[in-house]
């Protein structure tokens, strides 16, 4: 068995802060949105906690962005520039997720610290981290102080539009969370990827089946 250092410490810290923060945002967001159905904590407490964690995660996002922009680890998010090879690699990964994994086939992607994600993950994380997360944070910031940001809110169509966008992003992230929880069980053991995110080392076994 070989151990490969995949997740640097800053990435692991960012990941767990982000994971716990988003779970708290989901819980408090449900409390705020569905006050008549859910009464786990007082409404005012839910709002304060939701706002506080939101600012923590915004700061955490910029720490993540700075780490990748100013280190050589940015390559993990860069797709293959040869379009033919990119689509071939993507198709192999689709076939693996679609049926190959159920037949005990080997994962066509072998991660390294500079090439951590497969083509599908790269595409998904670019969409999530560079588009949807900023939209979620920006819409949340506008809703945090409607009066202060009234001009911007009106520019985007009013409070109802901004709130709808924020809720849609909430739904997207809930779906992503479910998918993410499933994918992290696809290592050589059920908790192998979780262990790697704690220690930084991914275990490479001689017999991946």
- pLDDT in the model for residue 58: 97
β-partners of residue 4 are 202
Quick check: 17 pLDDT over 80? yes
| Distance set, CA 75 to CA 43, 78, 195 (Å) | 43, 5, 23
Domain contains 171: yes
Domain contains 70: yes
Domain contains 50: yes
DSSP reduced 3-state for 86: helix
Read off the pLDDT band of 77 (50, 70, 90): very high
The CATH number that applies at residue 142 is 1.20.950.20
Read off the pLDDT band of 186 (50, 70, 90): confident
- pLDDT in the model for residue 205: 64
Domain contains 209: no
Domain contains 157: yes
Domain contains 107: yes
Domain contains 72: yes
Range of the domain at 47: 2-204
State in Å, rounded, how far the first CA of the chain is from the last one: 13
48-52, 80-84, 164-168 — which is least confidently predicted? 80-84
What span, in angstroms and rounded, lies between the C-alpha atoms of 15 and 186? Answer: 19
Number of domains in the chain: 1
Encode pLDDT of 103-132 as tens digits: 888 889 988 888 999 999 999 999 999 999
Domain contains 55: yes
Select from 117, 103, 122, 124 the least CA-distant residue to 172: 124
Assigned token pair, 12: 């692991």
């Amino acid at each position: 068995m070989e151990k490969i250092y995949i997740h640097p410490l800053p990435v692991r810290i960012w990941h767990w802060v982000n994971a716990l923060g988003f779970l708290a945002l989901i819980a408090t967001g449900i409390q705020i949105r569905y006050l008549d159905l859910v009464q786990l904590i007082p409404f005012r407490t839910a709002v304060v906690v939701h706002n506080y964690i939101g600012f923590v995660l915004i700061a955490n996002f910029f720490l993540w962005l700075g780490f990748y922009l100013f280190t050589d680890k940015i390559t993990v998010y860069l797709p293959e520039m040869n379009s033919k090879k990119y689509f071939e690699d993507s198709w192999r990964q689709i076939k693996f997720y679609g049926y190959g994994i159920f037949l005990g086939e080997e994962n066509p992607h072998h991660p390294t610290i500079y090439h951590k994600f497969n083509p599908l993950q790269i595409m998904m994380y670019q969409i999530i981290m560079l588009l949807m997360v900023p939209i979620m944070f920006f819409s949340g910031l506008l809703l945090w102080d409607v009066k202060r940001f009234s001009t911007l809110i009106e520019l985007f169509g009013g409070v109802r539009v901004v709130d709808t966008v924020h809720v849609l992003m909430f739904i997207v992230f809930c779906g992503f969370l479910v998918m993410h929880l499933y994918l992290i069980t696809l290592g050589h053991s059920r908790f192998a990827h979780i262990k790697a995110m704690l220690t930084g080392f991914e275990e490479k076994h001689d017999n991946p089946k």
